[in-house]
């Protein structure tokens, strides 16, 4: 019998193969996941367009119909993903396994995107409605499960979390030190901008990040010397996490290339095995 090794045997298995990207045995996304990705982009575009009164005014019925359609699609997708979690060996077919999946970050993002769509259908008003529509942009994060590049970024950040945390600690120390010194030197002459450490922090943030808005400027000689030192330090402060992330991205992309090559070799080996079995029969 020459049945394919990848052929789904049940509806749940078929959905699992088509909705769970790692289970899809071909390159790219399955046709079903492509439709879901298009629905995500459509829902985000709808939320963006609804924020423009010139577009939304007079087309309320159309926007509401599209909201209902996207809400149904996302609800069906969410229920389907909970159902097919039983096919994933990391969770299993039990209720506890599905609950563990429901508490993962991708599943929670799916839930938030679905709930916010339904909230707009059931009578929020004013600022609450605007807030709910803004939160609907979170649906864009649903695309993360389809992108190997976004997954690589996530793995890169996780693998360098200790180095990044240390760079954030150093940044916080520099921010506090520079704010304190500028408060002591410039606070009396410019109380509006440097009259307290929290007020001076705004200047320190703008300087350390090399933004430099220019709304607060030291006037004394000592203050300008400290400002120059802070600005130079800010260049190194930006370069430190940049270098850490660049090295992490390079490692993550290299691992992805090695995994793709390994999968290609496995598929080639499977084809050769199937060919030998066919010849034997």
**Do 137 and 17 fall within a single domain?**
yes
In this structure, the number of other CB atoms found within 10 A of the CB of residue 259 comes to 11
Q: Looking at the domain assignment, is residue 120 inside a domain? A: yes
CA 126, CA 109: separation in Å to the nearest integer? 24
DSSP for 87-114?
GSTTT-SSHHHHHHHHTSHHHHHHHHHH
Query: What per-residue confidence (pLDDT) applies to 181?
Result: 93
Q: Looking at the domain assignment, is residue 155 inside a domain? A: no
Mean pLDDT of 10-32: 83
**Do 70 and 185 fall within a single domain?**
no
Q: In this model, does residue 20 exceed pLDDT 50? A: yes
- Give the structural domain span for 17: 11-145
Which residue would you say has higher pLDDT here, 3 or 250? 250
**φ/ψ (deg, to 5) at 130:** -65, -40
Mean pLDDT of 82-94: 86
**Do 168 and 96 fall within a single domain?**
no
Q: What percent of the chain has pLDDT over 90?
A: 17
**Do 135 and 170 fall within a single domain?**
no
Query: What per-residue confidence (pLDDT) applies to 182?
Result: 92
pTM of the predicted protein model: 0.59
252-271 pLDDT, tens digit each: 778 777 877 877 787 788 77
Task: State which of 145, 178, 195 marks the end of a domain.
Answer: 145
Q: Looking at the domain assignment, is residue 154 inside a domain? A: no
Q: 13 exposed, middle or buried (CB, 10 Å; 0-12, 13-18, 19+)?
A: middle
| Choice among 13-27, 55-69, 128-142, 258-272 with the minimum mean pLDDT | 128-142
**Do 140 and 184 fall within a single domain?**
no
Kindly give, in sequence order, each residue whose CB lies less than 8 Å from that of residue 30, ignoring residues fewer than 6 positions away: 17, 18, 19, 21, 24
Q: In this model, does residue 176 exceed pLDDT 90? A: yes
Query: What per-residue confidence (pLDDT) applies to 143?
Result: 66
Our count of domains for the chain comes to 2
Q: Looking at the domain assignment, is residue 252 inside a domain? A: yes
Q: Looking at the domain assignment, is residue 171 inside a domain? A: yes
- Burial state string for 118-155 with b = 16 or more CB within 10 A and e = fewer than 16: ebbeeeeeeeeeeebbebbebbebbeebbeeeebbbeb
Q: Looking at the domain assignment, is residue 152 inside a domain? A: no
Residue 34's domain is classified under what CATH number? 1.20.120
**Do 69 and 132 fall within a single domain?**
yes
Q: Looking at the domain assignment, is residue 5 inside a domain? A: no
**Do 222 and 196 fall within a single domain?**
yes
CA 230, CA 226: separation in Å to the nearest integer? 6
């Amino acid at each position: 019998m020459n049945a394919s090794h990848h052929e789904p045997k049940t509806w749940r298995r078929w959905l699992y193969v088509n909705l769970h990207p790692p289970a899809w045995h071909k390159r790219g996304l399955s046709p079903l996941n492509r439709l879901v990705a298009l629905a995500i982009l459509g829902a985000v575009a709808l939320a963006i367009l609804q924020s423009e009164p010139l577009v939304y005014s007079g087309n309320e019925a159309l926007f509401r119909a599209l909201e209902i359609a996207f809400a149904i699609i996302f609800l069906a997708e969410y229920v389907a993903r909970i159902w097919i979690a039983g096919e994933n060996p990391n969770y299993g077919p039990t209720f506890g396994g599905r609950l563990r999946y429901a508490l993962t970050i991708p599943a929670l993002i799916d839930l938030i995107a679905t709930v916010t769509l339904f909230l707009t259908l059931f009578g929020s008003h004013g600022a609450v409605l605007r807030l709910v529509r803004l939160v609907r942009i979170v649906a864009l994060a649903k695309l993360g499960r389809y992108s190997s590049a976004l997954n690589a970024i996530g793995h890169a950040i996780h693998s360098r979390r200790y180095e990044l945390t240390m760079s954030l600690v150093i940044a916080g120390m520099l921010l506090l030190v520079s704010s304190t010194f500028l408060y002591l030197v410039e606070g009396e002459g410019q109380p509006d901008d440097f009259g307290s450490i929290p007020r001076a922090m705004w200047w320190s943030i703008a300087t350390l990040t090399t933004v430099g808005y220019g709304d607060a400027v030291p006037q004394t000689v000592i203050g300008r010397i400290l400002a120059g030192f802070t600005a130079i330090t800010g260049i190194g402060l930006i370069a430190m996490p940049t270098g850490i992330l660049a090295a992490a991205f390079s490692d993550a992309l290299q691992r992805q290339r090695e995994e793709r090559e390994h999968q290609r070799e496995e598929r080639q080996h499977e084809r050769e095995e199937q060919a030998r079995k066919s010849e034997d029969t």
